[in-house]
Structure 1
Amino acid sequence: MAGPGSALDPRYDPELLAHGDRRNVVDRYRYWTVEAVVADLDTRRHAFHVAVENWAHDLNIGSVVRTANAFLAAEVHVVGRRRWNRRGAMVTDRYQHVRHHPGVDDLLTWAATAGPDGGALPVLGVDNLPGSVPLEGYPLPRECVLLFGQESTGLSDAARAAVVDVLHIAQYGSTRSINAGAAAAIAMHAWVVQHAGPPAD
Structure 2
Amino acid sequence: MSEPGPSEWSVPGQVGVGPWAGPWPQGDQWDPELLEHGDRRNVVDRYRYWRREAVAADLAGRAHPFHVAIENLGHDHNIGTVVRTANAFGVAGVHIVGRRRWNRRGAMVTDRYLRLHHHADSHGLVAFAREHGLAVVAVDNVAGAVRLEATSLPRDCVLVFGAEGPGLSPELRDAADLVVSIAQFGSTRSVNAGVASGIVMHAWIREHADLSDAW
TM-score where L is the length of structure 2: 0.87
1:138 maps to 151
* Structure 1 stretch displaced more, 6-15 or 149-158: 6-15
**Count of residues paired in the alignment:** 195
Q: Give me the whole-angstrom Cα distance separating, in 2, the residues matched to 1:85 and 1:3.
A: 40
Q: Give me the whole-angstrom Cα distance separating, in 1, the residues matched to 2:193 and 2:51.
A: 31
Match of 2:166 among 143, 153, 168: 153
Matched position secondary structure for 1:192: helix
Query: Residue deviations 1:102-149, cap 9 Å, x none?
Result: 00011111111112xxxxx11010011112110012111110011111
1:166 maps to 179
Offset at 1:72?
0.3
CA contact (8 A) 1:7 1:17 kept: no
Which structure 2 residue ranges, 5 or more long, are not aligned? 4-19
RMSD, matched Cα: 1.4
* 1:123 correspondence with 2:136: yes
* 1:66 correspondence with 2:84: yes
Matched position secondary structure for 1:136: helix
* Structure 1 stretch displaced more, 61-70 or 106-115: 106-115
Q: Give me the whole-angstrom Cα distance separating, in 2, the residues matched to 1:125 and 1:113.
A: 18
The one-letter amino acid of 1:8's match is: Q
Q: Give me the whole-angstrom Cα distance separating, in 2, the residues matched to 1:74 and 1:3.
A: 32
Moved over 3 A (4+): 2-5
CA contact (8 A) 1:132 1:168 kept: yes
CA contact (8 A) 2:60 2:114 kept: no
TM-score where L is the length of structure 1: 0.93
* Residues 22-101 of structure 1 mapped to structure 2, 5 A cutoff: 22-101=40-119
Matched position secondary structure for 1:150: coil
Percent of residue pairs bearing the same amino acid type: 59
Q: Taking CA–CA contacts closer than 8 Å with sequence separation of 6 or more, which of the two structures ends up with the larger relative contact order?
A: 1
Q: Give me the whole-angstrom Cα distance separating, in 2, the residues matched to 1:76 and 1:69.
A: 9
Offset at 1:28?
0.8
Q: Give me the whole-angstrom Cα distance separating, in 1, the residues matched to 2:54 and 2:135.
A: 31
Offset at 1:9?
2.5
CA distance 1:87–1:152, shift in 2 (3 Å): same
